Amino acid sequence: MAQHDMNIANQGFPATRADINNALQAIATNNSGTSAPSTTFANQWFYNSNTNKLFIRNEANNAFIEVATLDQTNNEWQITTGQISAGDSDGLVFKTDDGTTRAVLDDSGHFVVGKSAADAGATAGIELRNDGNARFTKAGSTATFNRLTSDGAIATFQKAGTTVGTIGANGSNLFIGSPEGTDAFIGFGNNIVRPVTSAGASRDNAIDLGFDGMRFKDLYLSGGAFLGGTGSANKLDDVEEGTWTPTLVGSGGNPTVTYSVQDGRYTKIGRIVYIEFDINMSAKSGGSGAARISGLPFTKSSAAPKFSGDMGMLRGGRSTALDSTKRQSNFAGTILGNDTEIELAHTGTSGSASDYQISDIGTGRIVGSFQYVV
């Protein structure tokens, strides 16, 4: 370590040689010392051996500019100046020792990592843009957020400094939501989506799905819906509507029929099936035995007795295919357990029920509606 005034005095040779060596030593050691050189020059280097700071003299030769701090313990160089400026249009480019560009702060103020220029996320890398926008691009997962140890928020979203949403963890489960109004968050885990608090704890019987004027459109379920309770009796597992094809058949043989109308519709809610049918026969021949309407969309439960669990009516005024002498009586029908046919019947003035026979059926219409249990 040495400093020198860089002036070789007019003197004898031994002294001149020592003076030159001292000047060269000062140059070689960047004028190192515990304080600045007493004689200074523009663009002169100075290393402060007390603070381990490296300086260069300014062009006006009236001050030293701090360049860096040298960590003599870890052999590292630390930038300590308040400003770093690029001298060309390439911005600041950070490269590793093999010359590979690792990061760039371009002249527009975009900072990119893993690529050489900002391109709005077109290629893999990180862009921190001058408008406050950030883009993370790669083939695969683009970001990992890891909260250590405790439960709580992993990411917090704000608008104008006010929190509007949170994504967090409760145990091994993720939750997401907004603090607007009451504690209405949604949690995910254990094969369920569940209502939770802002801390991710379960919240029972407190959060609505949709609102007046804020309805969801369609709900697709492969299982059932529990209404008013959580027991098996509260489970509604089937609601559907559809069509079926009503067909006139006979217990002793089916007739040959030409239909101009053959319309059947049903609504099923849980185990209850409501059906309507309308057939219009332009021609009919053959067949024998009791008359029945076949083709029901669901088989009646075999656990229900023959005359329980179903009810219905034949619309006599519109059922012109029925024997006109019997259309004045009461009409009835029943569905046998484990069957998909309606037995057509009528009751006379005595109140006794009799089956319609195929021979009682002519051309024209048979119209009816029934309800039964499956």
pLDDT class of 198 with cuts at 50, 70, 90 = confident
Q: What element of type H or E holds 22?
A: helix 13-28
What is the C-alpha R_g of the chain?
47
pLDDT value at 134 more than 70: yes
The C-alpha atoms of residue 45 and residue 64 are separated, in whole angstroms, by 9
Provide CB contacts within 8 A for 124, sequence distance 6+: 114, 115, 137, 138, 139
Averaged pLDDT for residues 231-257? 94
Give pLDDT tens digits for 15-57.
888 878 887 887 888 889 899 998 899 999 999 999 999 999 9
What are the tens digits of pLDDT across the range 103-117? Answer: 999 989 999 999 988
Q: What was the pLDDT predicted at 307?
A: 47
**Adjacency order of strands within the sheet including 173-178:** 152-159, 162-170, 173-178, 184-189, 192-196
Where residue 309 falls among pLDDT bands split at 50, 70, 90? very low
Instruction: Evaluate if pTM is beyond 0.85.
Output: no
Rounded alpha-carbon distances, angstroms, from residue 117 to 106, 109, 154:
8, 11, 30
Which string of DSSP letters, residue by residue, matches 215-234?
A: -------SS-EE-SSSSGGG
Q: What six digits make up the tokens of 148? A: 């250590």
pLDDT at res. 183: 77
Strand partners, 170: 173
Residue whose entry in the numeric block shows the structure tokens 């040298």: 70
Element spanning 295, H or E: none
